Amino acid sequence: GWWGSAGLTGLLWALVSTTLGVAVSPQERLLLKALGLSTKPSPTFPAPVPSVLWKIFQQRTDPATPANEQDRACRVEEFHVPGNIIRVFADQGNFIHSGAPDTWRCLEKRLYFNVSVLEEGEPLTMAQLEIQFSHNSYHPSSWGQGFELRLYHALQMSLRGMSSQLSSQKLLVGQSFAQLHKSLLFNLTEVAKSWRTPSKNLGLILEISVGSRNGALGLPPKRLQNLCASIDSFLDTSLLVVSLSQQQCKASRKRRSSYYAPVTPSNLCKPRRLYISFSDVGWENWIIAPQGYMANYCLGECPFPLTAELNSTNHAILQTMVHSLDPEGTPQPCCVPVRLSPISILYYDNNDNVVLRHYEDMVVDECGCR
């Protein structure tokens, strides 16, 4: 490598590690705040990473993907909506009723997604509910009827405040299925917007029943039980929410030129390689991916006369001239980042939700004398 690179990187790294190694250092708090987190998450029951987020993350980090960073700071192109944060909320609702043999309902469940983590001034631009089954469920062919799925928007709790006693609910979706698919998606953008006022978030009621109420009434209990048993593959529900952190969007820069800093031996101002490993800073239990990244840093001299490659400002050129005349009184210009590029990070937030977020200015691409 170039002069002193290993030693310097090691020293820098030791500094960063000691400041971050402690449980709650002011530096760590600052960094977490910059990442939009109040405290360091410590996932207790981390949900598996939704495949849709993995897919987007991998596409974004694949060097073969033509990246338009300008757009990515303010748009989630994968869903064609404005945004730079994708969160997948786990369902926190309880089962209200599960398949008593003498009723026509196979499953009745409250769905609840705590979206309060979205900050004020962070518009929600998309919300998509996914209902998953572990496999496609078929109803026995001897019966002419399929399943009926109903989704209600809970609007008002009854005076008793019991979760199962909603005094007002609005039907959002009513669909019949001859066959339940592995995954059903519903557009809940408008509903999720109303949930941003916590007192208005009473969740949803999901109801899966055998055919219609009338059709099922005549069926013997054993038959109903069998029919309901065939949809016992009900797995989980989750809510994917896209929002726009306007701060990130405003900070957006030009697209990056190169991912890695060049390695040529010189003591002039230029980017130096620095790999930041999240496990070294003790963040491996909540950052899912990447495990680390090439952040780089700027180091080197800004000597007189400054050349064009040093990306100087007129002010820096004058400063080196003054410095050459009066080295004691005026310092050399500083070697600082002049072009940075973003990365995407996949992590668990303080509520164990999985988040894919775009961060500006995480990688030093170019340095200059300023």
In the complex, which residues of this chain contact ligand NAG (CB under 6 A)?
114, 116-117, 187, 189-190, 269-271, 309-311, 351, 366-368
Q: Rounded to an integer, what is the distance from CA 369 to the centroid of its chain? A: 35
Q: Judged by CB, which is closer to ligand NAG: 114, or 145? A: 114
Q: How far is the CB of 187 from ligand NAG (least distance, A)?
A: 4
Least distance between ligand NAG and beta carbon 192 (Å): 10
CB of 251 to ligand NAG, least distance (A): 20
CB of residue 149 to ligand NAG, shortest distance in Å: 18
Sheet of strand 204-210, all strands in order from the earlier edge strand to the far edge: 95-98, 105-111, 204-210, 147-157, 166-177
Residue 310 CB, shortest distance to ligand NAG, in Å, is 6
- Nearest residue to 163 via CA among 245, 225, 108, 100: 108
CA distance 323 to 275: 34
For residue 64, what are the contacts with CB-CB under 8 A and spacing of at least 6?
none
Nearer to ligand NAG, 114 or 330 (CB): 114
269-299 b/e (C-beta count within 10 Å ≥ 16 → b): bbbbbbebebeebebeebbbbbebbbbbbbb
Torsion of CA 43, 46, 52, 56, to 10 degrees: 30
Of 245 and 311, CB closest to ligand NAG: 311
Q: Compare residues 137 and 296 and give the one whose CB is closer to ligand NAG.
A: 296
Q: How far is the CB of 267 from ligand NAG (least distance, A)?
A: 12
Residue 10 to residues 254, 280, 282, Cα–Cα distance (Å): 31, 12, 17
The full length of the chain comes to: 370
Q: Output the smallest distance, CB 92 to ligand NAG, in A.
A: 7
Report the residue number, 146 or 368, with the smaller CB distance to ligand NAG.
368
Interior/surface letters 207-243, b for 16+ CB within 10 angstroms, e for the rest: bbbbbeeeebeebeeebbbbbbeebeebeebbbbbbb
Q: Whose Cβ is closer to ligand NAG: residue 280's or residue 352's?
A: 352
Closest to ligand NAG by CB, 93 or 290: 93
CB 106 within 8 A of CB 95: no
